[in-house]
Structure 1
Amino acid sequence: MTRPRRPILPLLDESHSTLQSRPIRKRDPDQPSLPFDPMPSRVEPCLALLKPTVPVGPDWLYEVKLDGYRLAIHIEPKGVRIITRGGHDWTHRFPTIAAAARKLGVRTAILDGEAVVLDDHGRSDFGALQRSLGGRGGRRVSAESILVAFDLLYLDGHDLTGTELDVRRHLLEDLIPDGDDQTIRISEEIDLPAEELLEHACHRHLEGIIAKHRDRPYRSGRTGDWLKIKCVQSESFMIVGYEQSVSAGGGIGSLLLAGRRGLDWIYVGSVGTGFTASDAEYLKKTLDRLKTSRPVVPLKGKRLVLVQPTLIAEIEFRGWTDDGNLRHASYKGLREVQDNAAVFDMNGTMRS
């Protein structure tokens, strides 16, 4: 169940007059019709801080945690740009999202959201998104992906990053068309008691819950304004080798994984499930080109092939063993440098 949409209210100051920001610099000649705030070329994203429990209280709103690529959609007078979390232009990789953004009927806007591919149950599927893009390093465009928008940072001459989330959400709801068949959709609020949210999400095999403070402005980085509470842990690890399969004629039986601890690499175990036959074929072909006699993690074994630390894998797991290995690990796909992939830090720094 979702909250009903409320009417969009004007931005008001304490005297209840309409709030208009003053120009902070001379008008941009490339944007001559812009009356108020110059449009930023890029906004560093707000990131969610990992927490074990869902925060409780009326100051929080809750959304489903998505599993895709974080994108900023820049709608500009000269066209649309799609920027990854790492700052790379991927407009050409998501042409259907770009086309849908051009039809939103605004002259300038910046949407914050997640590109996802949905499975038959309406859940985001990271592996399906990766396949739609042709895998790591692939050059395919993703026609299957949609954008789930969850924030609005700029709209028709107004910089909204200093405005509280509730107002930004109302403006976003007014901008995005209704309908489950839209290429750009809004991330709906979940209207359930906070104590039931995580159980509800996990029962439906979702990634987890995102909790956001309603009254906070949009602040870049991991400030604690946004929190993530996961059903199943999922992090990025470096592939440092593979174990040859006994039954598959020297193919991949499992991938050997490592995390970071400062400047050092720490072995965290292996993963032997989650990849398809085509995944295994691509991984073996790629990893065989990265073989090294000077591995970053000193592992020994007759069937082990050790490689240079180059490929970053997204791994789902249920926890940690007493000796520091991943428990019940499953391979989900490879992360891209353009997606600002960050290897799991054993000191506790986690990516969003």
Structure 2
Amino acid sequence: MTKPSKPKPLLQDADKPVRSRPRKPRNLAQPNLPLDPMPDRVDPCLALLKPKPPKGPQWALEVKWDGYRLAVHIDPSGVHILTRGGHNWTDRFPAIAAEARRLPVATAVLDGEAGVFDEHGRSDFGRLQQSLGGRGGKRMSREAVLMAFDLLYFDGRDIRQTELTSRRHLLEGLVPAGGEEAIRLSEEIDADGDVLLRIACEHGLEGIIAKDRNSTYRSGRGGEWLKIKCIQSDGFAIVGYEKSTAAFGGIARLLLAARKGDELVYVGGVGTGFNERSAAELREQMDKLIIGKPSVDTGRKRNAVFIRPELVAEIEYRAWTHDGKLRHAAFKGLREVQDEATVYEME
């Protein structure tokens, strides 16, 4: 039987403390590992509208949130929150900015949607606008929550050319599921697309988003992301209003227009969705834009006041009539210029 070998003594005197070898000075000719520069701004990947959810395991499904698209940039100099149009709104979302500073990462760019939730857990665009002081307001929204759904830059690496599955894996490590903080993970939902859409609609949500798991992050509306809505919701230019002595703010109906090529065309009106406060604020802004003649042909209108088409209203609607007018429309709020207030383009 062989005796167990004795452990070899450390190669130093027993009465001296253990120390590592002294560091050699770095060879200046040997380069550091290069890091990718953090982008100052990223044009967001936009979802293409589809009537039905796609089929197949390549598609990841999420809830569609109703709010403002934001990019949260985190670096050693601090946190910067940019709108879809590239405007710095860090000061307007203090809770999101504070939570971003607490994330366990040195550098990152998160993509997500800021929203304010109602008592049923649904994001509500109108509540978000009210929390910010209305269109053109300067109020801070402490209630807003960022639902983070993508990670574009992480610890010195630009990962936009990495497939969605890997980007999501890193995001889930950074923003765990099930949190109640000001930055939360927009979770993937393992379900059939048709079933998920039906459930989303039954719960009064705006719709769902489908994303190609193998896709890289590409700015614009390239089809890698798809949106399927329960109720249509788009931006329309306000070209005037009809007066009323009984309605909130004296507004009987807003007169709306969409883009068709290089022109605006009249698409009908909306007379619901206002409350006393929103109607008063809207009337105040519209009366600063009054013009003598309509900018589009609205047909004959009684008690109509026409304005320059500078305000963009977010409108919910169920369908279109055969002559190109909105059906069952409701006013949701005014879109901010900083949020790329685009006007709906007709085919």
TM-score by length of 2: 0.88
Q: Is the 8 A contact 2:147 2:184 kept in 1?
A: yes
Q: C-alpha distance in 1, partners of 2:248/2:115? A: 35
Residue of structure 2 equivalent to 1:230: 229
2:126 aligned with 1:143: no
Alignment deviations for residues 242-301 of structure 1 (CA, whole Å, 9 cap, x no partner): 111142498111111011112211110010000111111111122122111122123433
Alignment deviations for residues 189-224 of structure 1 (CA, whole Å, 9 cap, x no partner): 111122312111111111101000001111111110
Q: Is the 8 A contact 2:249 2:276 kept in 1?
A: no
Q: C-alpha distance in 2, partners of 1:184/1:87? A: 20
- Tell me the CA shift for residue 160 of structure 1: 0.7
Which secondary structure state, in structure 2, belongs to the residue aligned with residue 266 of structure 1? Answer: strand
- Tell me the CA shift for residue 43 of structure 1: 1.4
Q: Is the 8 A contact 2:106 2:155 kept in 1?
A: yes
Residue of structure 1 equivalent to 2:117: 118
Moved over 6 A (4+): none
Residue of structure 1 equivalent to 2:6: none
2:43 aligned with 1:44: yes
Residue of structure 1 equivalent to 2:181: 182
Residue of structure 1 equivalent to 2:4: none
Instruction: Tell me which amino acid in the other structure corresponds to 1:79.
Output: G
Residue of structure 1 equivalent to 2:274: 275
Q: Is the 8 A contact 2:248 2:279 kept in 1?
A: no
Q: Is the 8 A contact 1:117 1:129 kept in 2?
A: yes
Aligned pair count reads 315
- Tell me the CA shift for residue 177 of structure 1: 3.8
Q: C-alpha distance in 2, partners of 1:160/1:333? A: 35
Residue of structure 2 equivalent to 1:265: 264
Residue of structure 1 equivalent to 2:203: 204
Which secondary structure state, in structure 2, belongs to the residue aligned with residue 281 of structure 1? Answer: helix
Q: C-alpha distance in 2, partners of 1:221/1:249? A: 39
Which secondary structure state, in structure 1, belongs to the residue aligned with residue 112 of structure 2? Answer: strand
Which secondary structure state, in structure 2, belongs to the residue aligned with residue 174 of structure 1? Answer: helix
Q: C-alpha distance in 1, partners of 2:193/2:308? A: 45
2:301 aligned with 1:301: yes
- Tell me the CA shift for residue 77 of structure 1: 0.9
**Taking structure 1 as reference, are residues 34 and 89 closer, same or farther at Cα in structure 2, changes over 3 Å only?**
farther
- Structure of higher CA gyration radius: 2
Which of 47-56 and 250-259 deviates more? Answer: 250-259
Q: C-alpha distance in 2, partners of 1:148/1:199? A: 22
Residue of structure 1 equivalent to 2:83: 84
Residue of structure 2 equivalent to 1:30: none
Residue of structure 2 equivalent to 1:327: 327
Q: C-alpha distance in 1, partners of 2:101/2:222? A: 32
- Tell me the CA shift for residue 156 of structure 1: 0.6
**Taking structure 1 as reference, are residues 102 and 267 closer, same or farther at Cα in structure 2, changes over 3 Å only?**
same
Instruction: Tell me which amino acid in the other structure corresponds to 1:46.
Output: C
Q: Is the 8 A contact 1:56 1:195 kept in 2?
A: no
Q: Is the 8 A contact 1:34 1:156 kept in 2?
A: no
Which secondary structure state, in structure 2, belongs to the residue aligned with residue 338 of structure 1? Answer: helix
Q: C-alpha distance in 2, partners of 1:275/1:240? A: 17
Which secondary structure state, in structure 2, belongs to the residue aligned with residue 188 of structure 1? Answer: coil
Which secondary structure state, in structure 2, belongs to the residue aligned with residue 211 of structure 1? Answer: strand
Q: C-alpha distance in 2, partners of 1:158/1:321? A: 49
Residue of structure 2 equivalent to 1:341: 341
Instruction: Tell me which amino acid in the other structure corresponds to 2:133.
Output: G
**Taking structure 1 as reference, are residues 206 and 34 closer, same or farther at Cα in structure 2, changes over 3 Å only?**
farther
Q: C-alpha distance in 2, partners of 1:89/1:192? A: 37
Residue of structure 1 equivalent to 2:289: 290
Instruction: Tell me which amino acid in the other structure corresponds to 2:72.
Output: I
Alignment deviations for residues 42-100 of structure 1 (CA, whole Å, 9 cap, x no partner): 11111100111100111010000010000000001100000111111111111110110
TM-score by length of 1: 0.87
Which of 305-314 and 294-303 deviates more? Answer: 294-303
Residue of structure 2 equivalent to 1:64: 63
Q: C-alpha distance in 2, partners of 1:196/1:285? A: 44
Alignment deviations for residues 133-165 of structure 1 (CA, whole Å, 9 cap, x no partner): 000000101100010000001111111101000
Residue of structure 2 equivalent to 1:313: 313
Which secondary structure state, in structure 2, belongs to the residue aligned with residue 255 of structure 1? Answer: strand
- Tell me the CA shift for residue 35 of structure 1: 4.4
Which of 325-334 and 247-256 deviates more? Answer: 247-256
Q: C-alpha distance in 1, partners of 2:247/2:327? A: 24
Q: C-alpha distance in 2, partners of 1:287/1:83? A: 27
- Tell me the CA shift for residue 36 of structure 1: 2.1
Q: C-alpha distance in 2, partners of 1:305/1:34? A: 64
Q: C-alpha distance in 2, partners of 1:220/1:249? A: 41
Instruction: Tell me which amino acid in the other structure corresponds to 1:330.
Output: A
Q: C-alpha distance in 2, partners of 1:328/1:220? A: 33
Q: Is the 8 A contact 1:295 1:306 kept in 2?
A: yes
Q: Is the 8 A contact 1:96 1:183 kept in 2?
A: yes
Residue of structure 2 equivalent to 1:5: none
